[in-house]
């Protein structure tokens, strides 16, 4: 039988709000990559900051492999970071897991229907829905033992990669279909 413990997100991770970029202006440093946007499909966009950013930025605002970030302005957008060294701005919550918690398992848990239902309870606002990082700390999650997290996380990660590849194949087939029709009709 699988033993599941209910734990608050703050018990399994450190949770921060990203950094305010306008506090970091320093004209004596080089440009750095700053996270701009994520989506629920893990698409991560970043820009080089137009303003230079101080090299003395606190390390907690610099991405590490397996950090999980949640958009506080678009609460459905959650992403596990593979890139290190990106600056994480204040519109994101940074979830940095403690040891013995698997990032692949936790990201899938946070993308699940269970989390979405909990997220609805945590969001504020009538027009624009936002979430406070302090609310994330109180979020309760069902957590199996580490070995089960790893096995499940690895399986779910492989399934996600297959879904992404199949989506790309479908998009390429749609493009091929259009190209064939255009060529048949004498178009470009």
Successive 10-residue mean pLDDT values, the chain, 188 residues: 89 92 59 65 50 68 91 80 85 94 95 80 67 84 95 94 93 96 86
Q: How far apart are CA 112 and CA 106, in angstroms?
A: 10
Q: How far apart are CA 185 and CA 188, in angstroms?
A: 9
Q: What pTM did the predictor assign? A: 0.79
- 98 DSSP assignment: P
Q: Where are the domains of the chain?
A: 4-144
Under CATH, domain 4-144 is a member of which superfamily?
Answer: DNA methylase specificity domains (3.90.220.20)
């Amino acid at each position: 039988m699988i033993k599941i413990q209910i734990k608050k997100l703050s018990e399994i991770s450190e949770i921060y709000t990203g950094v305010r970029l306008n506090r970091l202006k320093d004209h004596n440093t080089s440009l750095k990559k700053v996270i701009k946007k994520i989506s629920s499909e893990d698409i991560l966009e970043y820009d080089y900051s137009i303003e230079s950013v101080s090299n003395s930025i606190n390390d907690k605002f610099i991405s590490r492999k397996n950090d999980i970030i949640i958009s506080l302005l678009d609460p459905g957008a959650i992403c596990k970071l593979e890139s290190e060294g990106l600056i994480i701005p204040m519109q994101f919550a940074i979830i940095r897991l403690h040891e013995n918690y698997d990032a692949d398992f936790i990201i899938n848990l946070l993308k699940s229907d269970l989390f979405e239902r909990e997220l609805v309870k945590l969001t504020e606002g009538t027009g624009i829905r936002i979430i406070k990082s302090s609310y994330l700390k109180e979020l309760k999650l069902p957590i199996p033992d580490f070995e089960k997290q790893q096995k499940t996380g690895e399986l779910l990660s492989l399934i996600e990669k297959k879904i992404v590849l199949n989506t790309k194949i479908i998009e390429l087939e749609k493009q091929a279909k259009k190209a064939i029709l255009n060529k048949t009709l004498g178009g470009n």
